[in-house]
A = this chain, B = another copy of it.
Amino acid sequence: VRQTRWLTAREQRAWRAYLHMQSRLAAELNRRLQSSSGLSTADYDVLVRLSEANEGRLRSFELGRDLQWEQSRLSHQLTRMQRRGLVTRQECTEDRRGAFVVLTDSGRTAIEQAAPAHVAAVRTLVLNGLTADQITELERFSTTVLTRLDATVTDAGCPLP
Contacts and interface: CB of A to CB of B under 8 A. Distances in A.
Contact of A129 (B6, B139, B144): B144
A80 interface: no
A104 to B, nearest CB: 23
Contact of A152 (B10, B124, B148): B124
Interface string A136-152: 11110111111111001
A18 B136 CA distance: 11
Contact of A159 (B124, B138, B148): B124
Per DSSP, chain A at the interface is helix
Interface residues of A, number: 54
Given A126-B145, A144-B130, A116 B4 contact: yes
Nearest to A123: B5
A1 to B, nearest CB: 9
B20 A68 contact: yes
Interface stretch (A21-29, A54-62, A93-101): A21-29
A7, A20, A21, A120: residue with the most chain B Cβ atoms closer than 10 Å: A21
B142 A14 contact: yes
A18 B116 CA distance: 20
A147 B17 CA distance: 11
